[in-house]
Structure 1
Amino acid sequence: MDWLQLFCLHPVSLYQGAAFPFALLFNYLCIMDSFSTRARYLFLLAGGGVLALAAMGPYALLIITPALCAVALVSSRGPQEVHGLTFSFQMGWQTLCHLGLHYTEYYLQEPASVRFYIALSSLMLLTQRVTSLSLDIREGKVEAASGGTRDRSSLSGCPSEALPYVSYLLFFPALLGGPLCSFQRFRACVERPSSLHPGLSLWALGWRGLQIVGLECLQVALRRVASAGAGLDHCQQLECIYMVWSTAGLFKLTYYSHWILDDCLLHAAGFGSEAGHGSGEEGYIPDVDMWTLETTHRISVFARQWNRSTARWLRRLIFQKSRRWPVLQTFAFSAWWHGLHPGQVFGFLCWSVMVEADYLIHTFANESISSWPLRLLYRALTWAHTQLIIAYIMLAVEGRSLSFLSRLCCSYNSIFPGVYCVLLFLLRKRKQKCN
């Protein structure tokens, strides 16, 4: 089974590349004074509709329907109730779609359509934008279209007032990928005057392009090395550790390349980091920081830096609202958001335990290790251990099925999270004694 094809990262990249000329065209038109704000919203919305139909076919209805329902809720409900309603509807709709995938894969034993996978991936990103918008409205950062009133006079102007919302939910540079862009930033980028529109930086685009080419070359080399070894079914002892590490490396390189391409598309359309932001907006954060991810010796840092805009969204949506076990609740919700496949449930819950262990282990090490040679050795060992645990979690999440999960758990790779589980138990017991 080719997992990279299964999870549609390369097909999505093809559609993102096809949307690149239209992003450049939008950026160019924004510099012209004749291109009005309304025309900009309509261009982004029309591009999103065309891209959805091209990439998803009939499954585009899975995206368009909840987007229109979310706009209807935002335009008709008060600020205090809009978040609960939109969150419940959006997660309910997404869960039904994921259950349809479960039914196809596990009950019918049939592969789902690639277009359906793309629609599910886009639906997950839509959930981010919907819940981010509803939180902004509840917190007073964004004013609802109708202000919560339902009289005829307020609804008569609803189509024009709702245009920025529906355009935000379906605008084509972020439809299939890209870091989460807040509604305030989106609106500021679209409505800024032509004279203040940032020019296109060819150097920035070229640098991102070189990074993508380099990552693709690394993928080819690593794929050849990984294919020469035995699979998880036939590997023996330490060979299984190497197999899991190399396969996880392929996944990481694919994600890095895909995230940089998403960032490149947003930059080409004028929504990138070079666009700047006002005082009331959230800053632009690219999803990938390869240097931090590949050099950190802390699992908690990796969790915050992996897909950074999603990590920030989860922190705002779940972590900051949780009174008990915030880390566990955040990772449990992440498993729900990803689809609740057996490997995903196990992988994210294991990740939450590893993060809790990470806090205690590094706190104890900082108090106990004083000499720099021991600190250097400790950092090297924990870096290797962190990379192997992340590889284990990544394969559990991407493998998804119960059969693959059982083979992974029975391999030598389970030693690494097992060590952290033992240390978590011992250090927590020690902490309770000290208290």
Structure 2
Amino acid sequence: MEWLHLLFLHPVSLYQGAAFPFALLFNYLCIMDSFSVHARYLFLLAGGGALALAAMGPYAVLVFIPAVCTVALLCSLGPQEVHRWTFFFQMSWQTLCHLGLHYTEYYLQEPPSMRFCITLSSLMLLTQRVTSLSLDICEGKVEAASGGIRSRSSLSEHLCKALPYFSYLLFFPALLGGPLCSFQQFQACVRRSDSWCPRHSLWALSWRGLQILGLECLKAAVRRVVSAGAGLTTCQQLECVHVMWATAGLFKLTYYSQWILDDSLLRAAGFGPEFGQSSGEEEYVPDGDIWTLETTHRISLFARKWNQSTARWLRRLVFQHSKVWPLVQTFAFSAWWHGLHPGQLLGFLCWAVMVEADYLIHNCANVFIGSWPMRLLYRTLAWAHTQLIIAYIMLAVEARSLSSLWLLCNSYNSVFPLVYGILLFLLAKRRHQFN
């Protein structure tokens, strides 16, 4: 199948694994109080630079340039201007890089370099940190450094003021993956001097290692089943539903394994929930809540729990500031942030419609379904329908050719989102009765 080449062990996992000893070393040196705060920032920054060069090669410059320009903007603009300009610059730069990928894939019809794909993934994570920091400055949560470049201080003083920003944007535990860490939490973790319980932390890391091993074994087993069966090009009628569900299951297992690995690297470096949590801060959560994702019968809950830190970031960046159709704007921006591939445009638009339909359908069900046997039956059917719709969206988003996207849309699988779309149309006129 066309998608299977994406489901093998990704090189990012190898680089993340290679960074573990350095994460543990950083944590140990901080515990032993062998590092000054400036030395800790430099260690994280140097590690990020080395990891970027190892993983991205010459493409690493595409990450270094926006990081330098962002720090320059942070140090020269006022608190009320910094978010608008940093957002515009970062998204413009990321979009140009994504257009380069489009040119390679769709015009030249050539497979893109794996190092370039890793660079784009790192750029997307950099955009999260840049906009999160600029929003914190704009909202007064972080003290602005505006005027630093124009002041008469020496070059060394300028660099000292900019060092925490550089380190935050490029620190190696979060360069290639991991939940979004706020600048306040990052600073608190770097400056910490509290004790560390090696037994508890090593047990937590060992448990995550076992989870990754279990997921990889399960993924290998499912991959054999999918490889031995028909693909979307050869499946017939209801057989395509099984193909879609199994392939989406492989994608989910791949994401779960990678998210646990990314979270483990952050915890190994001391950036987990046990460090740096201050009052008023949102609780640290890993990107994947596997139990909720696999058992929920609500598409809206799945959207909030899938890649949780990114979902929170999108809510803060777009949803809370949108006055008209905030849900559509949020998913549209997510498609832009992901690269605006045809499958992503279709997949995220479909997801927005499905979430809107989910609210109406379940509000209606709460009004008209009273007995527990009917509720149990309803939840079972809703769970199955939710998993199939999510599988449809996932395959659409991951499709990299118009032919594979057409095969998906022209299969029996399109019935599942179509049912929710029809119910949305029928229930929209009676929305006020269910709210």
TM-score bucket of the superposed structures, by smaller chain? over 0.9
Aligned to 1:177: 177
The answer for the alignment partner of 1:222 in structure 2 is 222
Query: CA shift at 1:273, angstroms?
Result: 2.0
Aligned AA for 2:339? G
One-letter amino acid matched to 2:266: L
- Distance in 2 (CA, whole Å) between partners of 1:155 and 1:23 is 30
| Match of residue 21 from structure 1 | 21
The change in CA–CA distance for 1:148 and 1:46 in structure 2 (over 3 A counts) is closer
Match for 1:315: what amino acid? R
Question: Are positions 1:325 and 2:299 aligned together?
Answer: no
Aligned to 1:347: 347
Structure 1 vs Structure 2 CA RMSD: 1.8
Name the residue aligned to 2:271. Answer: 271
Partners of 1:433 and 1:133 in 2: CA distance: 41
Structure 2 counterparts to residues 262-301 of structure 1, below 5 A: 262-301=262-301
1:260 aligns with 2:272: no
Change in 2 beyond 3 A, CA 1:108/1:414: same
Contact 1:9 1:258 in 2 (8 A): no
The amino acid of 1:150's aligned partner reads: R
Q: Which runs of 5+ in 2 are unaligned?
A: none
Distance 1:332-1:8 versus aligned 2 partners, 3 A rule: farther
Rounded Cα–Cα distance in structure 2 between residues aligned with 1:347 and 1:364: 25
Aligned to 1:65: 65
Shift of 1:154: 8.2
Greater Cα offset, 28-37 or 243-252: 28-37
1:251-280 alpha-carbon deviations (Å, 9 max, x no partner): 000000000000110010000123251114
What amino acid is aligned across from residue 118 of structure 2 in structure 1? I
CA distance in 2, matches of 1:197, 1:83: 36
- Distance of aligned partners of 1:364 and 1:55 in 2 relative to their CA distance in 1, 3 Å threshold: same
The answer to whether the 8 A contact 1:79-1:147 is kept is: no
Matched, 1:113 2:151: no
Alpha-carbon shift at residue 421 of structure 1 (Å): 0.4
Q: Alpha-carbon deviations, 1:332-351, whole Å to 9, x = none?
A: 00000000000000000000
Separation in structure 2 between the aligned mates of residue 280 and residue 300 of structure 1, nearest angstrom? 25
Q: Distance in 1 between matches of 2:286 and 2:101?
A: 30
After the TM superposition, which residues 343-422 of structure 1 pair with which residues of structure 2 at under 5 Å, given as runs?
Answer: 343-422=343-422
**What residue identity is the alignment partner of 2:151?**
D
Work out whether residues 41 and 167 of structure 2, in 8 Å CA contact, stay in contact via their aligned partners in 1: yes
Question: 1:336 and 1:198, CA in 2 relative to 1: closer, same or farther beyond 3 A?
Answer: farther
Residue deviations 1:60-81 (CA, integer Å, cap 9, x gap): 0111110111011001100000
Equivalent residues in 2 for 1:58-207 (5 A)?
Answer: 58-146=58-146, 150-153=150-153, 157-193=157-193, 195-196=194-195, 199=198, 201-207=201-207
| SS of 2:50 mapped into structure 1 | helix
Partner of 1:213: 213
In 2, Cα distance between equivalents of 1:294 and 1:434: 27
The alpha-carbon deviation at position 231 of structure 1 amounts to 0.8
Q: How far 1:433 sits from its partner (Å)?
A: 8.8
Q: Secondary structure at the match of 1:281?
A: coil
Shift of residue 216, structure 1, vs aligned partner: 0.4
CA drift of 1:4 comes to: 5.7
Query: 1:3/1:233 Cα in 2 relative to 1: closer, same or farther (>3 Å)?
Result: closer
SS at match of 1:283: coil
Supply the AA of the counterpart residue of 2:21: P
Structure 1 residues 65, 42: closer, same or farther in 2, change over 3 A? same
For the pair 1:37 / 2:30, whether they are aligned, the reply is no
Question: Unaligned 5+ residue runs, structure 1?
Answer: none
CA distance in 2, matches of 1:6, 1:239: 22
Distance of 1:107 and 1:159 partners within structure 2: 43
TM-score (norm 1): 0.96
Q: Which amino acid aligns with 1:351?
A: W
Q: Residues 343 and 405 of structure 1 are in contact (CA less than 8 Å); yes or no, is this contact kept in structure 2?
A: yes
Secondary structure of the structure 2 residue equivalent to 1:264? helix
3-state SS of the aligned residue for 1:145? coil
Percent identity for Structure 1 against Structure 2: 77
Deviates more, 1:144-153 or 1:247-256: 144-153
Distance across 2 between alignment mates of 1:315 and 1:288? 17
- Residue identity opposite 1:419 in structure 2: V
Equivalent pair of 2:347/2:394 in contact (CA under 8 Å): yes
Between 278-287 and 54-63, report the one with greater CA deviation: 278-287
